[in-house]
Amino acid sequence: KNYQIIIEENRRLYNEVQELKGNIRVYCRIRPFLQGQNKKQTSIEYTGENGELVVANPLKQGKDTYRLFKFNKVFGPASTQEEVFLDTRPLIRSILDGYNVCIFAYGQTGSGKTYTMSGPSINSEEDWGVNYRALNDLFHLTQSRQHSVVYEVGVQMVEIYNEQVRDLLSEDVPDASMHSVKSTEDVLELMNIGLMNRTVGATTLNEKSSRSHSVVSVHVRGVDVKTESVLRGSLHLVDLAGSERVGRSEVTGERLKEAQYINKSLSALGDVIFALAHKNPHVPYRNSKLTQVLQNSLGGQAKTLMFVQINPDEDSYAETVSTLKFAERVSGVELGAARSYK
């Protein structure tokens, strides 16, 4: 009998680990090559469904040239916004069943994070990024269930810059302010206000937004009309600071400080997701403001999706490899050099 208990316990643990790994997904998206003077393209090969990707080092020849990576999926340069969102849909649905969902965009500045999350414009439906599509789905679903469940939706938006958290939707409140919303448009309007507040003090939008993280949190509370039971779920849309490594010799003073804070918080995020994927008993949430803010929404039953963005320019090769290494650590699959690939 004891034997049976042990088998069952093992099975339960095994399933838990599998489930948790299933709760962390990493999708890689390769930005199209944009023509320019003296620009060359990195040789990248991939199988989309399999999630395998091989990059060739432009400075090497022979067997050390190739590196193999594996993710849940790879989206090539020709993939559409709709295709990219397709696999995100079930996650959005799960929010109304009481799950917390975090969606991140990771990559160096110019690798397509904004394109994937927001899209090039909101005027044409085709262009819509993950943010717009996710919110649209969320509100459609709440409406379609409104006869059985009454939903309340609230939004918060903060920026994390140099390890300081700032509310982007109102001033002088100790905690991030919560704003009640009824539609996708309401959320977008708040996001625009947040975006405007984010640029205060910066000369250009890109100048600051690429060096701070922004977190949009959508909290859903549903009350079942019949049973009056309450379910809470949330969606966090996280636009991470550019992951580019800044060499010590290139910057000093304020810029160096910023770069150090960014490196610190991105690696803290990587450590937390890694610990969760491996079911480590200790998850190091306290090591950065970013992971502290997201502590209740990462881990447990929460679902995490990371879009890892790749810039195909040859002069971005070193950044590309460092991005891919981060992503493979986060996804818990480390393959190393693809010596036998060709």
* 65 vs 114 by CB, closer to ligand ADP: 114
Residue 229 is assigned to a ligand binding site: no
Angle subtended at Cα 162 by Cα 159 and Cα 168, rounded to the nearest 5 degrees: 20
Q: What is the DSSP letter of 169?
A: S
Residue 204 is assigned to a ligand binding site: no
User: To the nearest whole angstrom, how small is the minimum distance from the Cβ of residue 112 to ligand ADP?
Assistant: 3
User: To the nearest whole angstrom, how small is the minimum distance from the Cβ of residue 284 to ligand ADP?
Assistant: 27
Residues in contact with ligand ADP by CB under 6 A are: 31-32, 107, 109-115, 120, 210, 309
Rounded Cα distance between 34 and 313, Å, is: 8
* 16 vs 125 by CB, closer to ligand ADP: 125
Whether 113 and 240 have beta carbons less than 8 Å apart is answered as yes
Residue 214 is assigned to a ligand binding site: no
Structure tokens, 262:
């960014």
Residue 76 is assigned to a ligand binding site: no
The residue with tokens 């590309």 is 320
* 61 vs 123 by CB, closer to ligand ADP: 123
CA neighbor of 75 nearest in space, from 42, 26, 117: 26
Radius of gyration of the chain (CA): 21
* 51 vs 112 by CB, closer to ligand ADP: 112
* 117 vs 176 by CB, closer to ligand ADP: 117
User: To the nearest whole angstrom, how small is the minimum distance from the Cβ of residue 126 to ligand ADP?
Assistant: 12
Residue 323 is assigned to a ligand binding site: no
User: To the nearest whole angstrom, how small is the minimum distance from the Cβ of residue 157 to ligand ADP?
Assistant: 17
User: To the nearest whole angstrom, how small is the minimum distance from the Cβ of residue 233 to ligand ADP?
Assistant: 27
* 116 vs 142 by CB, closer to ligand ADP: 116
Residue 180 is assigned to a ligand binding site: no
Residue 114 is assigned to a ligand binding site: yes
In the complex, residue closest to ligand ADP by CB? 112
Rounded Cα distance between 194 and 168, Å, is: 5
Return all residues near 203 (Cβ < 8 A) that are at least 6 apart.
none
Rounded Cα distance between 196 and 194, Å, is: 5
Write down the H helix ranges in the chain: 2-22, 81-86, 89-95, 113-117, 130-144, 184-198, 205-209, 253-277, 289-293, 317-331
User: To the nearest whole angstrom, how small is the minimum distance from the Cβ of residue 74 to ligand ADP?
Assistant: 13
Residue 331 is assigned to a ligand binding site: no
**Binding site membership: which residues?**
107-114
**Binding site membership for ATP: which residues?**
107-114
